[in-house]
Structures are given as C-alpha cells and as structure tokens.
C-alpha cells in the first residue's frame, strides 16, 4: 500500500457568485493523492484543496512536500497494522527537515495535502471522514447534525444594499438562521447601513456577525467598536492586523460583545500569542482558525489542545473555510459549528444538504464527500 502519484493544479476562485467581480486575484490549489489501493475496481484517490480566501501553493506542494510523500517507504506512511494510511505519520514525513518558524505559506501547502490524505484514508476504511476521525482519535460518536451559518456579504461594486439584502434573504430561505457579512471596506456610516439591511433578513442583529477583514488599527478600532455595540452582534471578527494583539486587546477590554479571531494565524505558536496577548475572553469569544491553513488536522489539534487546557470550551471553535472538510472536523471534534459559503468561492460554494433551523447533516459517503458535490467533483475529475 503506497502513494503512487500526487497531482496539483492552481485555479482562480472568486468571493462572489459572479466571478467577474474583482476578488484580488485569489486562487487555490487542487490536489489528488493517488494510491495503489483498489475499491470497486478503481484506485482510491484522496482529494484536497487549499481552503479559500488566499492563494494557491503549487510550488511548495510540487517541489517540496509531495516529493517527500512519494519517496517515503510504506512503513513511514502506514498504520501499525499496515492496513491503511496513517495521516499523522504522513504529516511527519512532509515536515521532515523543516526548520522551526517559517509559518507563512508552507502551512497551507501541508494542510492541502493533509486534507487529501485524510480523504484517502477514510475511503480505504470505507467510512465518512468524521466517523474515521472519531475512530482514529478514540472519540465518542459524533452528533447527527452540526450548527452552521452562512458567510458572504462582500461589498458589491454597484447596487450594494439591494444586492446585499437579496443575498442574505436567500440564505434565510435556504434554512440558515445566522449569517456573516463584511465591513471595513467603506466609511463607517455605509457599514452601519449594511448591518441594518442584513439584520432585517435574519430576524435581528443578534443573529448577524460582521467580518472587518483586518481593516482597522489603533486609530479607529475603538471608534468602530463603540458604533457597533448597540447592535449586539453575534460576533465582531478580524478587527485588526492578525498580529496586532495590542489593538485587539484594547477593543476586547471595551467591547462587551463576542469577538472572533484567529483566521489569519497559521500555527500553534501564533495561537498561543493570541491567547496570551490578544485579550480574548473564555466563554465569550470565538476562535476561527482554518484547519487547512494551520498545517492540516495535526496542526489544528495542537491549537485546540492549547486552548482546551486553558479552559476554553470546544464550542468556541468555528473553523474558517466554509467547506466539507471543516464540517467533518466540527462533528468529530464536537466544535461549535461550521461556516458555509452558499454563493461565493466556486467550485466549493453551495450547501451540502438541506439546512434545517441552522443545522445540517454530514455526508455519509466515504471520505470527505467531494464526489457528492457536483461542482467540486467536476474540478477534481478534471485534475485526474
């Protein structure tokens, strides 16, 4: 049993349903990890991608991390029984020889391959990924459904308020009870009007989160927090530069509502700095680390372990990304809930199944379940 080939392709990806609206040239990497294991007359292939909102990692994947997996011996990649791939051992192979530090973009390359390896291993075991993870980590049976929210609300270049209202209305029509929109790209008055418009479509502002996309700094973050306080928002996300812990702590000391942070921090070392210096409050605030961007599941587990040992509840974790891999982790690890991007980030946009009162059931197909998602499956099939 071995990995016989690894393929990568970089593709453009848009924040909007309309890919013609500029999104800053965002891309992502698709990967296929091909094994010599046969199921139903075909080789088992694990699929992964570099999450959303950033850029493809093709060079690092092709030149640095994939070759290590392809050169590894069977004993370096298999579980003790030799019956399946061991994603944790594969992770060690990818990280062999890496120096401490350097958490910039290599973590995304490793996380992309890690996703595909977990997909392949779960398929070999003939289990949906969340059940496979529960068995591998000796966790209790997962819940039948997980909480989800709809993410979108990027500013439109024209007719913004009308199009925003229609977008959030469409989320509510799908069964979502909570949503998230973007702020920080316009003047404060415009952003407050966006919040008012969106909140009307999800019953009230307490069911609405806002993502500032790290736009504020020490000169204006507190002013914005004061203006947002009356809305009693579900949460206030990515307030300032991810490493500006001083500004974040200053806002946390003055803003009573939940703050969400961590999406743009990519290692357990950075997560510890956020915990020590960011002023976040246990039992109130939200942790948004992206499992793919944090070196995959092994790196994400290190982050969870750190916060749990500091008395943070697992329900504080709502992983960034809005894709099927995150759904499985939320179920297996009993986290707070998952993000879904119903409109943007094709080919990974869309709803995995029927949303009922803000909750969704997990796919029962072996692995992550990309084969059940028409657009994603079409993209992966083109890769192999």
Phi then psi for residue 142, to 5 deg, are -75, 165
Helix (H) or strand (E) holding 163: helix 160-174
- Alpha-carbon dihedral sign for residues 348, 335, 277, 299: negative
CB burial of 198-218 (b: ≥16 within 10 Å; e: otherwise) equals bbebbeebebbbbbbbbbbee
> Is 328 assigned a catalytic role?
no
Q: Which two tokens stand for residue 204?
A: 């009230």
- The number of angstroms, rounded, from the C-alpha of 45 to the middle of its chain's C-alpha atoms is 22
From the candidates 103, 320, 323, 328, give the one annotated as an active-site residue. 320
Q: Which two tokens stand for residue 36?
A: 């010599």
**Residue 62 near residue 71, CB atoms below 8 Å:** no
For every residue of 152-217, DSSP letters joined together read --PPPSSSHHHHHHHHHHHHHHHT-S-EEEE-SSS-HHHHHHHHHHHHGGGSSGGGEEEE-TT-B-
Phi then psi for residue 70, to 5 deg, are -70, -25
Give the 3-state secondary structure of residue 205.
helix
> Is 243 assigned a catalytic role?
no
From the candidates 123, 180, 182, 293, give the one annotated as an active-site residue. 182
CA distance 359 to 138: 25
Please give, one letter per residue, the 3-state secondary structure of 72-107. CCHHHHECCCCCCECHHHHHHHHHCCCCCCCCCCHH
Phi then psi for residue 358, to 5 deg, are 75, 15
The residues carrying an active-site annotation are: 182, 320
């Amino acid at each position: 049993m071995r990995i016989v080939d690894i393929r990568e392709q970089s593709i453009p990806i848009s924040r909007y349903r309309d890919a013609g609206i500029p999104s800053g040239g965002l891309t992502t990497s698709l990967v296929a990890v091909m094994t010599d294991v046969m199921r139903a007359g075909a080789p088992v292939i694990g699929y992964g991608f570099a999450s959303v909102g950033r850029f493809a990692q093709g060079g690092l994947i092709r030149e640095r991390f994939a070759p290590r997996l392809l050169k590894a011996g069977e004993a370096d990649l298999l579980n003790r029984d030799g019956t399946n791939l061991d994603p944790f051992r594969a992770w060690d192979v990818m990280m062999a020889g890496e120096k401490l530090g350097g958490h910039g973009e290599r973590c995304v390359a490793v996380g992309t391959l890690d996703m595909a390896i977990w997909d392949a291993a779960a398929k070999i075991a003939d289990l949906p990924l969340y059940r496979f993870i529960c068995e591998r980590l000796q966790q209790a049976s997962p819940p039948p459904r997980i909480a989800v929210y709809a993410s979108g609300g990027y500013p439109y270049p024209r007719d913004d308020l009308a199009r925003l209202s229609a977008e959030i209305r469409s989320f509510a029509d799908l069964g979502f009870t909570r949503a998230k929109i973007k702020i920080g790209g316009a003047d404060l008055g415009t952003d407050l009007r966006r919040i008012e418009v969106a909140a009307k479509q999800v019953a009230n502002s307490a069911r609405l989160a806002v993502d500032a996309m790290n736009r504020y700094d020490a000169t204006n973050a507190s002013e914005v927090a004061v203006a947002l306080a009356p809305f009693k928002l579900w949460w206030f996300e990515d307030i300032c530069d991810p490493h500006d812990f001083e500004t974040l702590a200053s806002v946390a000391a003055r803003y009573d509502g939940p703050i969400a942070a961590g999406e743009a921090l990519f290692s357990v070392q950075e997560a510890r700095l956020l915990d020590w210096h960011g002023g976040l409050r246990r039992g109130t605030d939200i942790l948004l680390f992206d499992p793919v961007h944090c070196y995959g599941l092994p790196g994400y587990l290190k982050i969870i372990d750190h916060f749990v040992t500091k008395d943070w509840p697992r329900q504080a974790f709502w992983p960034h990304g809005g894709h099927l891999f995150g759904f499985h982790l939320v179920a297996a690890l009993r986290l707070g809930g998952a993000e879904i991007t119903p409109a943007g980030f094709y080919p990974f946009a869309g709803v995995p199944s029927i949303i009922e009162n803000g909750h969704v059931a997990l796919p029962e197909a072996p692995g992550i379940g990309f084969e059940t998602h028409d657009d994603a499956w079409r993209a992966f099939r083109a890769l192999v």
